[in-house]
Amino acid sequence: MRMKLGCADASERTAGKGTTFVLSSPVVAESRPTTPSESKPAVLGKLRVLIADDEDVVLRILREYLAADEHVVEACASGRDAIEKFQHAPFDVVILDLAMPDMNGDQVAVAVKQLSPQIPIILFTGFGSMIQASGEAPSGIDLVLSKPATIAMLRAALAKVIAPR
């Protein structure tokens, strides 16, 4: 990869016109699985997943990740909507953002666990590393997953909370 920046480099200096600095960096190729089946966990099967996050881009990415593994996804942008959807349909797992404007993920987790204590709840948050460092997940949370996460990290989180069932 080559980029030209307006900085000093003796080899490309023009009097009265400035200089151009050339910065080169190797491109690192991300390793990819050779077949789709190698990247998908075999033990999960199709899950019904409820997601609540107030960021549209996060909802879209999670939907895409989960749809790639053929899970059925219901997504909502608020905690109140998540509780409403949870009351009217069965789900295998719930994924919640911590910081949402109307009800935070903690509050939604407590409400979901009151309705159905066996449902695993993943807290998907930008505060994940801080929560994990403290060693104390909020009440009702089965697993904390830090944002941003790769599809492999999401798959591992799902496998971990679904496995004991």
Q: What is the 3-state secondary structure (H, E, C) of 53-104?
A: CCCHHHHHHHHHHHHHCCCEEEEECCHHHHHHHHHHCCCCEEEECCCCCCCC
Q: Identify the three-state secondary structure at position 144.
A: strand
Rounded mean pLDDT for each run of 10 residues along the chain, 165 residues in total: 44 64 46 46 78 95 94 95 96 94 91 96 80 70 91 94 76
Q: Supply the pLDDT for residue 62.
A: 95
pLDDT at 45 (0 to 100):
84
pLDDT for 40: 52
Q: Give Rg (Cα) of the chain.
A: 22
Provide the pLDDT for residue 84. Answer: 96
> What pLDDT is stored for residue 125 in this prediction?
86
Q: Which of these CATH numbers, 3.50.50.60, 3.40.190.10, 3.40.1030.10, 3.40.50.2300, describes 45-162?
A: 3.40.50.2300
pLDDT of residue 39: 52
